[in-house]
Chains A and B, each alone.
Chain A
Amino acid sequence: MQSNTRPVLPLIAKGLFVRRKGRVLLDVDSIAIDGSGTTVLVGPNGAGKSLLLKVLSGLRVPDKGQISWNGLAPDRQRYCRFGFVLQNPVMLRRSALSNVEYALRAVGHDKSEAKRRAPIVLEEAGLTSLASASARVLSGGEMQRLALARALAAGPDLLFLDEPTSSLDPASVLAIEAMVKNASRDGMRIVLIAHDLAQAKRVGDEIIFMHRGKIAENVPMEQFFKQPGTPEAEAFIAGKILVPKEQQ
């Protein structure tokens, strides 16, 4: 039976494999995302974290593997059930308010409803004063908050965040984390890529550690830090540099 309440969950993927120029970028046996809470995806640079999220969301097609959203193959109609804040948010060449209106209209709200809701979305993100400002000249923190607000405005079932706080100041980091926690509390399923392990502890319920394109560990947050299951995870927690295989 398919549930219509959360059309993209459970998200299940098996045998995902991506190779480019002879290098294996992704080699994931299986992953399942369902229920509630926040999963934090960690791993060294080049581990395949961003690529995994793009493959799961249908933005990239793997060389091999199957992905199902709520038991069905991914389709365009259900894209709007995904929220995805990209590492470098893409803002349309219009005001902050218009960017939110556009997103609301894209997911099916009519013009008047989008115009009514957009200011509320900006207010919740603390961006009311920037409503008429060009979205493309906002600061990094403001742009990330806008990108997150725009993604949340559509009320997605599942939210992916690709390093949403990289290179932001502490206040902006806290603002983003507060928005993520609120969304999680409201029942939204969240998967977040982080390089900051302290942040992972603050916002995450479980953790996925990736290394060389594979999922090395998928465990509750506390367990990962107390009893890392692999030498690579232990080294990663200790802050040691994990050298990619081809560079060894």
Chain B
Amino acid sequence: MQDFAASFLEAFQLVLGFNSGLLEIVWLSLKVSMTAVVVAAIIGLPIGAFLAVSRFPGRGIIIVTVTAMMGLPPVVVGLVVYLLLSNAGVLGPLQLLYTPTAMIIAQTILVVPIIAALARQTLEDLNVEYRDQLKLFGLGSFARLRTLLWEGRYSLMTTLLAGFGRAVAEVGAVIIVGGNINHVTRVMTTTIALETSKGNLALALGLGIVLVVIAFTINALAFLLRAAAERSAYV
């Protein structure tokens, strides 16, 4: 127990003392996950918007597939990306394996279905409500979609936060494609796994504290977004 207490104390000292090693890992984690979310948003939002407002044969199957992919097992995604990026893989010549880019690719694959599925639901509900009125305004498809995206902006931002939460807490895929290389691809989750196995609980706990703070921050941001929405005539 005394060891645990000492580890906790050391962990807090690492966090509050802005330990450079810890900050490096936190910064890389945030950089990788934020980049993955931005890329996933660029891919996922148009997919979600298209599925929300269009009608075509097979649409239901695609929606079910995208929704099911929200639960993609990270290790499977990691394995597939590993196979693609390894020397013998299709993308082997790019030499991306064990780089932050490989981790971004893996996290993007995990986050795209979350953003696409949640955006589709948000925009489809809005479209049902607004369809007739927007048509009566004489708006074209693009203008209507732009209005729907604006009207759903707060819900869509919450969707992005959900995607970021998934990305930053992910360990299985990034450890396979990143290799957990010190100062190169070592992020919070992979460091926690490694340091725990080595018995270095202080750093693992310190990063755990940072992760929990990030999780709380994401939820607080989602809450504040909703409050801001209500203040700005969004109810």
Contact = CB atoms under 8 A, between A and B. Distances in A.
Interface in B199-235: 229, 232-235
A72 interface: no
A55 interface: no
Contacts of A174: none
A86 B233 contact: no
Contacts of A79: 135-138
- Which of the four size classes fits the interface of chain A? 20 to 34
Interface-centre pick from B132, B133, B232 (highest chain A CB count, 10 A) = B133
B62 interface: no
A246 to B, nearest CB: 27
Nearest to A99: B233
Interface string A96-119: 001000110011000000000000
Contacts, number: 54
A50 to B, nearest CB: 11
Interface residues of B, number: 18
Contact of A90 (B129, B140, B232, B234): B129
A214 to B, nearest CB: 24
Interface string B136-148: 1111100100010
Contact of B138 (A80, A98, A102): A80
Interface of B: 129-130, 132-133, 135-140, 143, 147, 151, 229, 232-235
Interface of A: 54, 57-59, 76-80, 82, 84, 86, 90, 92-95, 98, 102-103, 106-107, 133-137
Given A84-B136, A93-B233, A94-B234, 4 more contacts: A80-B137, A95-B233, A134-B233, A134-B234
